[in-house]
Amino acid sequence: MALSMSLNALGMGESGAVDNIVGGEILCKKLMEMGFNKGAVIQVVKNDSGALIVKVGGTKLVVARGMAQKVMMREM
């Protein structure tokens, strides 16, 4: 079984599947509306400084570091 890590632990070009969201109800709802549902495959486009740019399906999204810290991923 793969260990969970936060989204911002993934490097540029790496992908993972959403395992869990560790946060309040409002944050969970917002992230789920953006496509961060359990099992969704997320690819990191940019992760250097500031916000992350990720690809969810065919859509690129900007995610604040604080939000990304709460998205737990399984490495693929």
For residues 74 and 38, what is the distance between their CA atoms, to the nearest angstrom? Answer: 10
Model confidence pLDDT, tens digit, residues 2-60: 678 999 999 999 999 999 999 999 999 999 999 999 999 999 999 998 999 999 999 99
Q: Which distant-in-sequence residues (6+ apart) come within 8 Å of 53 by Cβ?
A: 44, 45, 46, 47, 60, 61, 62, 63
**Residues 6 and 65: beta-carbon distance below 8 Å:** no
pTM: 0.89
Return the pLDDT at 2: 64
Quick check: 75 pLDDT over 90? no
